[in-house]
Amino acid sequence: MKNKIPVSINREHVLKLLSKGMRIDGRDLLNYRPISINFEVAGKADGSASVRFGDTYVMVGVKAEIGKPFPDTPGEGVLLVNAEFVPLASPDFEPGPPNEDAIELARVVDRGLRKGEVVDLKELCIVPGEKVWMLWVDIYILDHNGNLMDAAALASLAALMNTKLPEVKVEGEEIIKTGKFKPLNIKDYPIAVTLGKIGGSFIVDPLLDEEQLMDCRLTVITTKSGNICALQKSFSGTFSQGDVLKALNIAVEKGKELRDLLFSSFEKFSSSKA
Amino acid sequence: MDEEIKLIDENGLRVDGRRFDELRPVRIEVGVLKNADGSALIVQGRTKILAAVYGPREIHPKHLSKPDRAVLRCRYHMAPFSVEDRKSPAPSRRETELSKVIREALEPAILLEKFPRTCIDVFVEVLEADGGTRCAGVTAASVALADAGIPMKDLVVGCAAGKVDGVVVVDLCDIEDKYGEVDVPVAYMPNKGLISLLQMDGILTMEEFEKALNLAIDGCKKIYEVQKAALKRKYDFTEKLKREADKSEE
């Protein structure tokens, strides 16, 4: 049980530093921890990636299955996001079905991917009304040290960028896999940036200790062109209207940084494979 | 389905004939349930929601209790007959998320520290869903909390804005929510001027978002007047006496 200093004792120290524009790990308020993004980390998955923000470690695997479309969207494939808070990731995680935090995380990541139009679901249709690709995006939290939301969203997008779908042919009733693969067509690159409000200051990429002291947080997901595609306020505090607008501007800026990092990591990975 | 649905007509009016900044008619009734410590019914257009509050009361299981304050618990739930196709009564992932955001929208308004080691349960039952249920749920729940006599810093009001057919509008109905582009639910504490719930689902530019947020907050301020009037109808005795006097004169 390391780092188990009671939150209330830490609070004074954290707030005092923040008022001077400093963090407990020496970062500036609006700096991320060192980030690393790795692709193709699970061989059996159709796409996968892992992301580390400092000691936070999240893995995402994408599995593609052929299934039946939803009756109200017969010409579209299906994108499903699920998050598992694996018990090995934190002393606070317990085995069992996803709790409300895991459900919220998965739903916010889902909203970002869907509304950010990462994939055109129409392209995932094989036989309208009958057979479509179902993409399961499974988020696996492996080490929880704060800011799961941003790490999970980034890892999910990275895993989709790395996803290859089997090429299929339709012959009568049957669907035949040709044995070839083609990469998933990625349309946009929405990035989640979570702003934490703590003692009147905004911070990005909170540590677990900071997260427990935050009044509230706002997750802002922005597209490549700098528009907002999803928002989620959580925790029990409040924002003023000015706070919200300030947060959005920071999120657009930080989103750009993370997106550039994602692109350069992906390029490095692609060239290492070539 | 890909057929085009026109959400804004040539006169700039919406599917139900409203202008972009017009709310649906809102009616709130206080104290509609006998057993609950506080309750409220909200009817907003065709959305109909009951909220009930139990507590402060003993918490069960006890290990969940907090030594310095009350625990707020919230359950948002949709009746199986509240939507077009029957909804399974088992809680869905959506309901779990909404229960969380509604709880977090109400929590900053309540003086939980007045009731250590207890819990306050808020139940939000959607009887008829026609868009904007989480916001109407927050509005009704905060009136029910007031009806239960729980001390609060402010009422909390919910109202959504969004974008349909390229136009930023307030208080989306179900068709607008389904076929429109964007939904921005907001909960607001009108006296404090603070936002306690904010979500968004769809693409907006910065300018559009600012406009939507302003429309939602204006909507909240209007619904706040309905909340106050509803509470006064039950609790303002001078008004009650006046009403009775008027009646006897007739």
pLDDT in tens, B129-141: 999 999 999 999 9
Interface test with B, best of A94, A236, A250 (most B CBs within 10 A): A236
Classify the phi-psi angles of B56: left when phi > 0, otherwise alpha if psi is within -120 to 50, otherwise beta: beta
- The alpha carbon dihedral of B93, A211, A141, A156 has a sign of positive
A138 - beta bridge partners? A61, A82
Task: Flag if A100 and B100 touch (Cβ within 8 Å).
Answer: yes
Task: Please report how the helices B93-106 and B133-147 are oriented relative to each other, as an axis angle in degrees rounded to 10.
Answer: 50
Question: What residue has token string 């009746």?
Answer: B79
- Indicate the residue of B107, B202, B213 with minimum beta-carbon distance to A241: B213
| Residues lower than pLDDT 70 in chain B | 1-4
CB-CB contact of B164 with B184 (8 Å):
no
> CB-based contact (8 Å) between B238 and chain A?
no
Q: How far is CA B16 from CA A2, B9, B216, B245, in A?
A: 59, 10, 18, 40
Comparing C-alpha atoms, which of B245, B239, B243, B235 is closest to residue B31? Answer: B235
Tokens of A243: 């706070």
Chain A: closest CA distance from residue B247 (Å): 45
Domains defined for chain A, CATH in brackets:
7-273 (3.30.230.70)
- Indicate the residue of B93, B198, B203 with minimum beta-carbon distance to A229: B203
Supply the DSSP string of A120-177, one letter for each residue: -GGGGEEETTTEEEEEEEEEEEEE-SS-HHHHHHHHHHHHHHT-EEEEEEEETTEEEE
pLDDT in tens, A28-82: 999 999 999 999 999 999 999 999 999 999 999 999 999 999 999 999 999 999 9
Compute φ and ψ for B205, nearest 5 degrees: -80, 170
ipTM: 0.88
A95 - beta bridge partners? none
* B-contacting residues in A 189-248 (Cβ below 8 Å): 216, 218, 223, 226-241, 243-245, 248
Question: What residue has token string 């306690």?
Answer: B196
What string of H, E and C letters represents the secondary structure of chain B?
A: CCCCCCCECCCCCECCCCCCCCCCCEEEEECCCCCCCEEEEEEECCEEEEEEEEEEEECCCHHHCCCCCCEEEEEEEECCCCCCCCCCCCCCHHHHHHHHHHHHHHHHHECHHHCCCEEEEEEEEEEECCCCHHHHHHHHHHHHHHHCCCCECCCCEEEEEEEECCEEEECCCHHHHHHCCEEEEEEEECCCCEEEEEEEEEEECHHHHHHHHHHHHHHHHHHHHHHHHHHHHHHCHHHHHHHHHHHHHC
| Residues lower than pLDDT 50 in chain A | 1
Report, at the CATH architecture level, how domain B26-83+93-233 is classified: 2-Layer Sandwich (3.30)
Tokens of B126: 């959607």
CB-CB contact of B104 with B41 (8 Å):
no
The H-or-E segment that residue A64 falls in is strand A56-67
pLDDT at residue B239, rounded to an integer: 74
3-state secondary structure of A96: coil
The H-or-E segment that residue A115 falls in is helix A100-115
Instruction: Give the C-alpha separation, A231 to A216, whole Å.
Output: 13
Task: Flag if B204 and A230 touch (Cβ within 8 Å).
Answer: no
Compute φ and ψ for B112, nearest 5 degrees: -65, -30
CB pairs under 8 A between A and B: 94
pLDDT at residue B4, rounded to an integer: 67
- Indicate the residue of B1, B93, B203 with minimum beta-carbon distance to A107: B93
Question: What residue has token string 């890892």?
Answer: A155
pLDDT at residue B1, rounded to an integer: 41
